[in-house]
Amino acid sequence: DAGVIQSPRHEVTEMGQEVTLRCKPISGHDYLFWYRQTMMRGLELLIYFNNNVPIDDSGMPEDRFSAKMPNASFSTLKIQPSEPRDSAVYFCASSFGQASYNEQFFGPGTRLTVL
Amino acid sequence: AQSVTQLGSHVSVSEGALVLLRCNYSSSVPPYLFWYVQYPNQGLQLLLKYTSAATLVKGINGFEAEFKKSETSFHLTKPSAHMSDAAEYFCAVSGRNTGGFKTIFGAGTRLFVKA
C-alpha cells in the first residue's frame, strides 16, 4: 500500500484566499483524522471521521475551517478565508478498527504558509 | 481527562550512549500509551504502544518503554544511540471508554545524536 497520501505537500497563499488540503487514507481504514502541527501548540486534533461520518469536530478552531469525507478514499480540509495564523503543517492520518489503541498511520503532511 | 507531559523539549546524546526520553501521563481511565517518531519532513510513525499486555514494551529500531502505573510514567529508552535516531519523539495517550478516539499527543522531544 502507498500509505496515506496528502496533497499538496506545500501551499503558499495570501491572506483571505481559500485553501483546500486533500487526503487519501489507506485502503480499508475506517477512521480518518486531521491534525495541525505548530511550534507553539504542538500537534492538535482538528476532526476525525468514522466510516465517512464526522464524529468529533471540537478541535476545529473556528467556522473558517471545514472538513468533508465524501467517500472512504478521500477527504478535504478547507480554510476560507485563510489567515496568517493558520500557517502550520497539516497532517492526515488513518486507522482501522474500533479500538482506541489502534495505530494511526500519518501522511507526510501539507506545509501551509499564509502570507 | 487525559494529558501527557514530555520532560525536555531537546535531548542530546553521543552516538553509542543511552537514550532516555521521559513521558508522564494523566488519565482518568486505564490508558493506552504510545511513542511515535517523526523524521524531518515526514509524518509520525509508531515506535511502540502499551495496551496492558505487558509493562515492558519493545518497539522498532531497538527502542523500548516501560509502563509504571505508580509513577504514571512511560519513558522511552534505547541502550545505544545511533545517528539515524535523530528525530522528534512524541508520547501519546488514549483511553478506554473515553467516548471517542482522541489520542492526546505530548509536545515532543527532539533528540540530537552527536558523533
Q: Tell me the per-residue pLDDT of B27-85, one tens digit each, with 9 for 90 and over.
A: 877 889 999 999 988 899 999 999 887 899 999 999 999 999 999 999 999 999 999 99
At residue A26, the pLDDT reads: 96
Q: Which three cell numbers stand for residue A111?
A: 506545509
Contact A9, A113 (CB under 8 A): no
Among B88, B84, B75, B81, which Cα is nearest to B14's?
B81
> Which of B96, B98, B102 should one mutate to test binding to chain A, selecting the residue with the greatest count of A CBs within 10 A?
B102
Q: Tell me the per-residue pLDDT of A16-68, one tens digit each, with 9 for 90 and over.
A: 999 999 999 999 999 999 999 998 888 999 999 999 999 989 999 889 999 99
Please work out, in degrees rounded to the nearest 5, the angle formed at the alpha carbon of residue A68 by the alpha carbons of A62 and A71. 165
| Residue A39 in contact with partner chain B when CB distance is under 8 A | no
Q: Coil, strand or helix: which one is B83?
A: helix
Contact B12, B100 (CB under 8 A): no
Q: Could you say which DSSP state residue B107 is in?
A: -
Q: Tell me the per-residue pLDDT of B12-23, one tens digit each, with 9 for 90 and over.
A: 999 999 999 999
pLDDT band with cut points at 50, 70 and 90 for residue A85: very high
pLDDT band with cut points at 50, 70 and 90 for residue B10: very high
A45 contacts on B by Cβ (under 8 Å): 102-103
What integer is the mean pLDDT of B78-105?
Answer: 85
What integer is the mean pLDDT of B85-93?
Answer: 95
